[in-house]
Structure 1
Amino acid sequence: MVVFTEWFEPVLLVVVGFLSGAINAVAGGGSLLVFPALLATGMPPLVANVTNSVAQGPGFVGAAIGQRQDLKGNSRRLWLTSAAAVVGSALGCVLLMVLPGKVFDAVVPALIGLSAVLMAFQNTIRKWLGTPDESAPDRTMFLVLGIFFASIYGGYFGGARSVILIAILVLAATDSMRRLNALKSWLGMIGSAVTLVVYALIAPVDWIAVLMLVPTTVLGGFVGGKLAQKLPATLLRYLVVVIAAGVAVYMVLD
């Protein structure tokens, strides 16, 4: 369990948890703030990763509940993608636990860097993907495989998972952006639920840190949601990108 050696460390987690929730509500990518904060308390990278993943879960639940009406109308797509998310997330969690810790230590800077790039070019990616064609049929095989592999990534690390999910949905599913965004939130909630169960059983989750982060993250998400129209989403997103890139460089050089 986390042992605070400096007075500011618990304060840091509380503040970062709040900011993470607010940023997730406005721009996404808040988990990339929590991960380095956990490292700053002296937590090993693997423990910080699983703790961060568990602590971020409630945010997806709130988003999915708020958008539940937009999930109606295509039960086949919902069941297929949900199944892919469950299996992929579980596999990602198991890979994290089975592979040697040095593998995670080696690849996590690259994963953080990838997350930072996805966050930086999120709007560009959305413009490149264009508006979904609501009249065309789903590309079911591509959709299911894409969600499966994105969920493996989410179970293993998870940074910027929402950006990957929405990109796959826009490419492979045909519906309004509002409904696809609701499906993205649902799949994020499914993945987080699987992650919570698997990590609770087999991973070294720091539950003290989770108990500190969850309420502050939820509160931050509530405040961020209320202020979403007033807060500069682009500025917040690039702040996350700069911090994530700095953490990636630090971990490479350390």
Structure 2
Amino acid sequence: MSALEGVVILIAGIAAGTINTIVGSGTLITFPTLLAFGVPPITANASNTIGLVPGAISGAVGYRRELVGQRDRVVRLLSASVLGGAAGAVLLLALPESAFATIVPALILLGIVLVVTGPRISRLVAARHEATGGVPAHGAWWVWPAIGLAGVYGGYFGAAQGVLLMAILGIGVQESLQRLNGVKNILGAAVNGVSGLIFVFVAEVDWRVVALIAVGSVIGGQIGAGVGRRLPDLWLRTAIVVVGVSALVFFLRS
């Protein structure tokens, strides 16, 4: 790896950490960058996943104020993310890349639609729960398994995982998008962490790439938290849709 390639990967890590904290899909920056420099796909995916973990933690720390009062919710949903992330990592190592290639664009499109229609669907879900005794603090019953499935996808690849998580949380949990974004950062960190741990032992990892992305994503996590926490809900929702559409275009053209 040349010095120039190292600088580019570091900058890509900063950009990915920033985008992941605000919305998600930072992998769409780092993963293609690694492929462009000749890193094999599986090695690039594993190294990228591990490298982005510190950035996700950095972003979660930046959102610590929004996380106040959500401990029980986070603990409950973390179990789904951990299980899903582990399953996704195993699938990545066991299945050919083509196995998920056809459904990834559909999942991203679903996430975009859910984010756009989220407010209306959320109101309908809330009205139904109010009629039957109110919405549980941790969200509707289907939120836990949906977060688990998003974890499977995140452990397998991870691009646009944040879009899916925000769609699920925004519809199934009665809370502001900013507070849910804090939860999303923790869940994303958990998925990357558990899948990255598996990759350490059973996949080929380029530790130089990991170090560069880790440093960059930590810086980006703080930048993203500073910017994201100031965005109104409408702007945040718009940013999620823009990133989701970009991810969809990326997959359809690849």
* In 1, Cα distance between equivalents of 2:152 and 2:245: 23
Partner of 1:92: 88
Partner of 2:135: 137
**Worse overlay, 199-208 or 35-44:** 199-208
Matched length: 241
* In 2, Cα distance between equivalents of 1:63 and 1:145: 24
TM-fit CA distance, 1:122: 7.6
TM-score by length of 1: 0.76
Partner deviation per Cα, 1:33-74 (whole Å, 9 max, x = no partner): 111001101112222111221121122212222334544546
Partner of 1:168: 168
Partner of 2:249: 245
Matched to 2:198, the amino acid is V
* In 1, Cα distance between equivalents of 2:41 and 2:72: 38
Would you say the 8 A contact 1:55–1:214 is kept in 2? yes
Partner of 2:16: 20
Partner of 1:40: 36
TM-fit CA distance, 1:204: 1.6
* In 2, Cα distance between equivalents of 1:180 and 1:50: 27
Would you say the 8 A contact 2:116–2:241 is kept in 1? no
- SS of the equivalent of 1:141 reads coil
TM-fit CA distance, 1:220: 3.0
Q: Does 1:212 align with 2:212?
A: yes
* In 1, Cα distance between equivalents of 2:29 and 2:215: 16
TM-score by length of 2: 0.76
TM-fit CA distance, 1:186: 2.0
Partner of 1:104: 97
Q: 1:35 to 1:117 in 2, by over 3 A?
A: farther
Select 1:83's aligned residue among 63, 79, 82: 79
* In 1, Cα distance between equivalents of 2:62 and 2:50: 20
Unaligned runs of 5+ in 1: none
Partner of 2:198: 198
Partner of 2:189: 189
* In 2, Cα distance between equivalents of 1:108 and 1:222: 32
* In 1, Cα distance between equivalents of 2:173 and 2:143: 7
TM-fit CA distance, 1:151: 0.7
TM-fit CA distance, 1:75: 5.2
Select 1:124's aligned residue among 116, 130, 147: 116
Would you say the 8 A contact 2:81–2:190 is kept in 1? yes
- SS of the equivalent of 1:162 reads helix
- SS of the equivalent of 2:142 reads helix
Partner deviation per Cα, 1:143-197 (whole Å, 9 max, x = no partner): 2111111111111111111111122123333334343332222212222221222
Matched to 1:63, the amino acid is G
Matched to 1:66, the amino acid is G
Q: 1:236 to 1:193 in 2, by over 3 A?
A: closer
* In 1, Cα distance between equivalents of 2:251 and 2:175: 37
Partner of 1:10: 6
User: What root-mean-square deviation, in Å, do the aligned CA atoms of Structure 1 and Structure 2 show?
Assistant: 3.4
